[in-house]
Amino acid sequence: MNQAEIEMPTVGDFARVFRRIQSEVHKVIVGHERAVEEILTALFAGGHVLIEGVPGTGKTTLVKTLGLAFNLSFNRIQFTVDLMPADITGTRVIVTGAEGRRDFTFQPGPIFCHILLGDEINRATPKTQSALLEAMAELQVTVAGKTHPLTPPFFVMATLNPIEMEGTYPLPEAQLDRFLFKVRLDYPGEEELVRIISTTTGPEEAGVEPAFPADEAAARVEALKRLVRSVIAAPAIEQYAARMVRATQPQSSRFLSASQPRVREDAVDRYVMFGSSPRGAQALILSAKVRALLDGRANVAREDIDDVAVVALAHRIMLNYAAHSDGVDARQVVERVVRSVRSAGS
Amino acid sequence: MPSPLQARKAEEKLGIILDRVGAIRVRLNSLAWQGAVFGVLGWTIGCVALVLLAAYYLPPLPFLGSSILLLAAMLYGLFRTGRAAWLAHSSMFRAAELADQRAGLKGRLETIVQLGRVKSSPAEAASPIRSASAAPMWSYLIEDTLAHQGEFEPARIENRLLSRSIYGLLGALAIALLAFPLIQSARRNARHPASGRSEITLGLNDLKLQPADPGSNNGVEVHADARTMKILREMMAAQGLEHRSGSPSSLSRLLNRARGFANKLQSKLTGLPGSNRPRINLKLADAGKNPGGLGQMPPPTVPEPPANNPPEPEPQKPPNQTDSALPPMQQAESASREKKPDAGKAQANASQQGGPGNQEKPSTGDQIRRGRGDHNGSAGSSHGSGADPDSLFGQRTEPHLGNQGFQIAIEARPMANGPKAEGHPYVPPKVDTPLNPEQQPDQPVPRVSIPQQDRAAVKSVFER
């Protein structure tokens, strides 16, 4: 269906669709309420998500279920050391035509879908990992000098296994920065584990009902994404987000303009080597707009930015050795930054 | 594109919200101004009341110190009050932000105020609410906020009509009200000094002369005839105190100046004479027999000397000069001496036989009487005019300090915290005398064990 034919959804529509997809996902995924909400937020904000979790916590199942709930095309790539970029983007192959003429034809790779799961992305070589960069940022792939656009919506969910780090290639900072959120899937609690056992080992599998008809799904999701972007963020709110991102830069950073004041947080000066990029501010505002719509508002509030700050900024800051030796992680640092910026006021 | 009617309705709704925020702002600013006014009044009234109280009840130097402290506290308080009022002063945006926080509106008012006011400015074209995609959201925001209008009533956002700083003002007024009777009482006491003051007679042996410390108010003004002052100076010289009263140090000069300034300030504030330092009138007990005694002495009341500076002796008054130049007390004494020429001698003799502290029969001849110098009454007035130590006390004896045969009338108030009142003994000043070449400095005796042959003897001594 043409996107122009889709009626612009209202604020109420957005919250309704969001809650429905959430409930469909939770028919399969037990627990992880916060993680599911964050992944859906990133999807409607037009971003990509990096999911970190130990094996067996339902990362792949979650992504598959999302694809089913949205009724969007879904592909999965298992990243390995010998995976080549062409295996992701596609390549040109010789095809014999009806007249017997042989031509090079572009054979699209698995990246040509709406929802892409890059499983254990850190097992592939940097060259292969970077093949995702252009697609994630510009929604297109270039093969043999020819650019092929991807069909929106395009949503990448990559998973990372925090253990088994041998033979892996940590994602470069530039690539990490392209993910809107880094979501952590924690090990389930006992009660959740019992529910997982009972729902997955019974005779019947939980069925996921799509939220949209297949032919409308992409257009509907795109309309919802446009609605998100139309949410109003007052200049003071944008300033608040900018102040928060600047506060993640350590005082010693040579990339920080010393003449401009910023909110100082001791933990940042002590533990952070490099702070968030400007993409962090964009991520804050976009995901805060989703939160505002979920709350039935047409305006972004400071609370929305505070809500998404940790998940939007933690993977964008690079910690130093002092942080590693003190056992401080980036989420803790961002939490303290949020407190400092909030208490600094407007 | 909205119709003109829809646009006008949207404007009206926006106006309702902005008016409501404006009312909240007025209320917040009213509280801020009240806070400033009450704070300024509170600090001023409280500090002025305390300064006045200090002026009546504290000696000059403590008064000066406490006044400076109170003034500093008042200035700090005024600065804080002004700063707090300035910070509490609200713009429309600040009022909207506060209303959002208090009503839980999550930035709705803040957004409307910030973006809605852009309309009339040149930045209208760049306003995000003018973009085609955001226009429906703007309408939604207005409608949504109006739906919550009950939550941002001015009375609900800020229910106080009176600033809390009124409590500070009330506290200051309470201090002022408490200070008022105390000040009144102090004024009464100053105008009508307590009558029936007891007279204190002390032996001259007990009289320890010491220049007052520069910063202390325990010193007294000594008033006496030239001869008495001379004897006093001799006594001070005998006690090695004269050098201390010779040339005042820069510190003492500074303190004296400060004391003078504080005295003037106190006088201005209270309308009473400045110094409340005790005055002492000294008179020789044998003045009646001395042709150059008190009767023929220059006026005994000397100008107030600095605390560490004993007054210079008055020039000798010609013998034929009358007592008309004397203060009333001295005139009364002089008159009484003329009437009873022998009374001074009799009392002087009696005072030599009596015990110390006996008011009726002063034993040492030194009578110390409490009271203001101008209201001395009759103490010390019965020993005649003039004094001749050679013939007044019968046979000539070797002069002995403390037994000079004169009376000292002291105007002083007994004080609980004075060194005399606590009965502290006089501690002589430490004197570091250089050793002559034949002297050796003290060396600690080394501790040794008792020799075996002496132990029995030592033991027997201690057993005894």
What confidence tens digit (pLDDT) does each residue in B292-343 have?
433 344 444 444 444 444 444 444 444 444 344 344 444 444 444 444 444 4
**CB-CB under 8 Å, A226 with B138:** no
Is the predicted pLDDT of residue A127 greater than 70, yes or no? yes
Q: Which of B193-202, B325-334, B436-445 has the highest mean pLDDT?
A: B436-445
Q: Minimal CA–CA distance to A118: which of A171, A70, A71?
A: A171
Task: Measure the CA–CA gap between B351 and B330, rounded to whole angstroms.
Answer: 21
What pLDDT, on the 0 to 100 scale, is given for residue B45? 93
Task: Measure the CA–CA gap between A327 and A322, rounded to whole angstroms.
Answer: 8
Task: Measure the CA–CA gap between B277 and B26, rounded to whole angstroms.
Answer: 57
Task: Measure the CA–CA gap between B291 and B351, rounded to whole angstroms.
Answer: 21
Length of chain A: 346
Is the predicted pLDDT of residue B206 greater than 50, yes or no? yes
Residues in chain A whose Cβ is within 8 Å of chain B: 8, 10-11, 226, 229-237, 292, 295-304, 346
Q: Minimal CA–CA distance to A37: which of A58, A66, A10, A64?
A: A66
Task: Measure the CA–CA gap between A64 and A46, rounded to whole angstroms.
Answer: 18
Is the predicted pLDDT of residue A282 greater than 90, yes or no? yes
Of residues B22 and B426, more confidently modeled: B22
- Most B CBs within 10 Å, among A226, A228, A232, to test the B interface: A232
| Contacts with A300 from chain B: Cβ below 8 Å | 107, 111
Residue of A nearest to B143 (CA): A298
Of residues B446 and B163, more confidently modeled: B163
What pLDDT, on the 0 to 100 scale, is given for residue B318? 42
Residue of B nearest to A223 (CA): B133
Is the predicted pLDDT of residue B444 greater than 70, yes or no? yes
Q: What is the mean pLDDT of residues B129-146?
A: 75
Task: Measure the CA–CA gap between B325 and B306, rounded to whole angstroms.
Answer: 24
Residue of B nearest to A235 (CA): B114
Is the predicted pLDDT of residue B377 greater than 90, yes or no? no
Q: Minimal CA–CA distance to B88: which of B163, B166, B168?
A: B163
What pLDDT, on the 0 to 100 scale, is given for residue B73? 93
- The ipTM value here is 0.79
What pLDDT, on the 0 to 100 scale, is given for residue A253? 67
Task: Measure the CA–CA gap between A34 and B435, rounded to whole angstroms.
Answer: 92
Q: What is the mean pLDDT of residues B359-383?
A: 40
**CB-CB under 8 Å, B111 with A231:** no
Range of weakest confidence among A45-54, B159-168, B239-248, B292-301? B292-301
Helix runs in chain A, H state only? 11-28, 33-44, 59-70, 85-89, 126-138, 173-176, 190-200, 214-229, 235-247, 266-271, 278-294, 302-313, 321-326, 330-344
- Most A CBs within 10 Å, among B111, B115, B145, to test the A interface: B111
CA distances from B82 to B34, B38, B212 (A): 11, 11, 45
Handedness of CA A29, A30, A32, A38 (dihedral sign): positive
Using the 8-state DSSP alphabet, how is residue A81 labeled?
T
| Contacts with B129 from chain A: Cβ below 8 Å | 232
What pLDDT, on the 0 to 100 scale, is given for residue A163? 76
Is the predicted pLDDT of residue B188 greater than 60, yes or no? yes
Is the predicted pLDDT of residue B430 greater than 80, yes or no? no
Using the 8-state DSSP alphabet, how is residue A317 labeled?
S
pLDDT tier at B359, thresholds 50, 70, 90? very low
**CB-CB under 8 Å, B138 with A10:** no
- Proportion of chain A above pLDDT 70, given as a percent: 95
Rounded mean pLDDT of chain B?
A: 68
Instruction: Give B6's contacts (C-beta < 8 A, 6+ positions apart).
Output: none
Is the predicted pLDDT of residue A207 greater than 70, yes or no? yes
Is the predicted pLDDT of residue A324 greater than 80, yes or no? yes
User: Considering all CA atoms of chain B, what is the largest pairwise distance in Å, rounded to the nearest integer?
Assistant: 131
| Contacts with A301 from chain B: Cβ below 8 Å | 100, 106-108
**CB-CB under 8 Å, A229 with B133:** yes
Paired tokens of B322: 């009358």
Is the predicted pLDDT of residue B386 greater than 80, yes or no? no
Distance from CA of A10 to the nearest CA of B (A): 9
What pLDDT, on the 0 to 100 scale, is given for residue A273? 86
Q: What is the pLDDT of residues B113-134, one digit of tens each?
A: 888 866 555 555 455 555 555 6
User: Are the CB atoms for A124 and A161 separated by under 8 Å?
Assistant: no
Task: Measure the CA–CA gap between B295 and B386, rounded to whole angstroms.
Answer: 6
| Contacts with B106 from chain A: Cβ below 8 Å | 292, 295, 297, 299, 301, 303-304
What pLDDT, on the 0 to 100 scale, is given for residue B322? 39
Is the predicted pLDDT of residue B402 greater than 80, yes or no? no
**CB-CB under 8 Å, B97 with A298:** no
Is the predicted pLDDT of residue B272 greater than 50, yes or no? yes
| Contacts with B100 from chain A: Cβ below 8 Å | 301
Distance from CA of B137 to the nearest CA of A (A): 6
Q: What is the pLDDT of residues B154-172, one digit of tens each?
A: 888 888 888 888 999 999 9
Q: What is the mean pLDDT of residues B225-231?
A: 76
**CB-CB under 8 Å, A226 with B136:** no
Using the 8-state DSSP alphabet, how is residue A88 labeled?
H
Of residues B350 and A254, more confidently modeled: A254
Distance from CA of A207 to the nearest CA of B (A): 36
What pLDDT, on the 0 to 100 scale, is given for residue B464? 66
Of residues B266 and A35, more confidently modeled: A35
Element (H, E) at A155: strand A155-160
Is the predicted pLDDT of residue B140 greater than 80, yes or no? yes
User: Are the CB atoms for B145 and A296 separated by under 8 Å?
Assistant: no
Nearest by CB: B134 against A232, A296, A297: A232
pLDDT tier at B43, thresholds 50, 70, 90? very high
Nearest by CB: A236 against B110, B128, B134: B110
Is the predicted pLDDT of residue B199 greater than 50, yes or no? no
Q: How many C-beta atoms lie closer than 10 Å to residue B30's C-beta?
A: 15
What pLDDT, on the 0 to 100 scale, is given for residue A176? 87
Task: Measure the CA–CA gap between A45 and A226, rounded to whole angstroms.
Answer: 9
Q: Minimal CA–CA distance to B62: which of B348, B388, B417?
A: B417
What pLDDT, on the 0 to 100 scale, is given for residue B76? 94
Residues in chain B whose Cβ is within 8 Å of chain A: 93, 97, 100, 106-108, 110-112, 114-115, 128-129, 131, 133-134, 136-138, 140-141, 144
Residue with tokens 């989420």: A331
**CB-CB under 8 Å, B114 with A234:** yes
**CB-CB under 8 Å, A232 with B129:** yes
**CB-CB under 8 Å, B134 with A237:** no
Of residues B440 and A240, more confidently modeled: A240
Is the predicted pLDDT of residue A1 greater than 70, yes or no? no
Q: How many C-beta atoms lie closer than 10 Å to residue B198's C-beta?
A: 9
- Proportion of chain B above pLDDT 70, given as a percent: 53
Answer whether the bond into residue B313 is a cis peptide, omega within 30°: no
What pLDDT, on the 0 to 100 scale, is given for residue B456? 87
Handedness of CA A65, A66, A67, A72 (dihedral sign): positive
Q: What is the mean pLDDT of residues B85-105?
A: 89
Nearest by CB: A299 against B93, B97, B141: B141
Task: Measure the CA–CA gap between B383 and A268, rounded to whole angstroms.
Answer: 91
3-state SS of chain B is CCCHHHHHHHHHHHHHHHHHHHHHHHHHHHHHHHHHHHHHHHHHHHHHHHHHHHHHHCCHHHHHHHHHHHHHHHHHHHHHHHHHHHHHCCCHHHHHHHHHHHHCCCCHHHHHHHHHHHHHCHHHHHCHHHCCCCHHHHHHHHHHHHHCHHHHCHHHHCCCCCCCCHHHHHHHHHHHHHHHHHHHHHHHHHHCCCCCCCEEECCHHHCCCCCCCCCCCCCCEEEECHHHHHHHHHHHHHCCCHHHHCCCCHHHHHHHHHHHHHHHHHHHHHCCCCCCCCEEEECCCCCECCCCCHHHCCCCCCCCCCCCCCCCCCCCCCCCCCHHHCCHHHHHHHHHHHHCCCHHHHHHHHHHHCCCCCCCCCCCCCEEECCCHHHCCCCCCCCECCCCHHHHCCCCCCCCCCCCCCCEEECCCCCCCCCCCCCCCCCCCCCCCCCCCCCCCCCCCCCCCCCHHHHHHHHHHHHC
Instruction: Give A256's contacts (C-beta < 8 A, 6+ positions apart).
Output: A246, A249, A250, A262, A275
Cross-strand bridge partners of residue A146: A143
What pLDDT, on the 0 to 100 scale, is given for residue B356? 40
Nearest by CB: A230 against B107, B115, B137: B137
Instruction: Give the count of Cβ contacts less than 8 A between chain A and B.
Output: 65
SS3 A70: helix
| Contacts with A232 from chain B: Cβ below 8 Å | 111, 115, 128-129, 134, 137-138, 141
What pLDDT, on the 0 to 100 scale, is given for residue B290? 46
Distance from CA of B262 to the nearest CA of A (A): 47
What is this structure's pTM?
0.64
Q: What is the mean pLDDT of residues B235-250?
A: 64
Angle between helices A278-294 and A33-44 (to 10 degrees): 110
Task: Measure the CA–CA gap between A7 and A138, rounded to whole angstroms.
Answer: 26
Task: Measure the CA–CA gap between A114 and A150, rounded to whole angstroms.
Answer: 8
User: Are the CB atoms for B262 and B276 separated by under 8 Å?
Assistant: no
Residue of B nearest to A289 (CA): B137
Q: What is the mean pLDDT of residues A206-218?
A: 84
pLDDT tier at B348, thresholds 50, 70, 90? very low
What pLDDT, on the 0 to 100 scale, is given for residue B209? 63
